[in-house]
Amino acid sequence: MRVMETKARACRGAAAVLTAGVMMTVMIACSRVSPGREHQPGPEVSAIGAPAEMPDPCALLSAADIASTTGRPAGAPERTPGRFAATCKWPSADGTDPEMVHVMVSTAGVASYDDYVARTRHAMGRVFSENELQKVEGLGDFAVWAGDARSGALQIFSKGRLLQVTAAATGDRQARDVATALARLAMPRMP
């Protein structure tokens, strides 16, 4: 019974972190102005705040990329276009995992890691621990892992864009490592 309670508590904690990540993604994608700043459209954003050219997230990774990184063959990608964000998900080829890898591309409304953390705290009404929001070095202008060892989202902010990669842990690789490896393949393909 104690093991089940511990697992349930861990699942609730992971769900809270993922919910926070999704809420932050929506807030960041939909916001165009940082607090205390006026919006100045740049080359990546049109005057009304919509992406000038939203990259196709399905073109950022191939089935071979996913298979070599996860060790599992990927099924056909499913693209969902949107005004401020476009997503692509790859199920497992055998159908056992409907969303083995998920990629989202959006405009970004944050300027720095500190801005991201401040907005997350404000949106969620609480302080996050270093285990819940982890800065990831060497990707884009800055990158954040929101999750735990088994699941989460890697959000990379670069040149006014947000690239979010989610992937589950595979074998002995933690979810963050899998998402980071996939993001390193996807980043050079971002226009």
The pLDDT tens digits for 49-64 are: 444 567 899 999 999 9
Provide the pLDDT confidence category of residue 167 given band limits of 50, 70 and 90: very high
pLDDT at 100 over 90: yes
pTM, 2 dp: 0.73
Write the DSSP symbol of residue 188.
G
Q: Kindly state the tokens that stand for 136.
A: 């990831």
Tell me what the pLDDT averaged over the chain comes to: 76
- Check: CB of residue 183 under 8 Å from CB of residue 156: yes
Residue 6, amino acid: T
Q: Kindly state the tokens that stand for 184.
A: 């390193």
φ, ψ of residue 181 in degrees (nearest 5): -60, -40
DSSP structure string for 124-142: HTSPPPTTTEEEETTSSSE
Distance in angstroms (rounded) separating the CA atoms of residues 162 and 180: 14
pLDDT at 151 over 80: yes
Q: What is the mean pLDDT of residues 18-42?
A: 39
pLDDT at 33 over 70: no
Q: What is the mean pLDDT of residues 90-116?
A: 92
pLDDT at 2 over 90: no
Task: Average the pLDDT over each of 40-49, 55-64, 94-103 and give the range with the smallest value.
Answer: 40-49
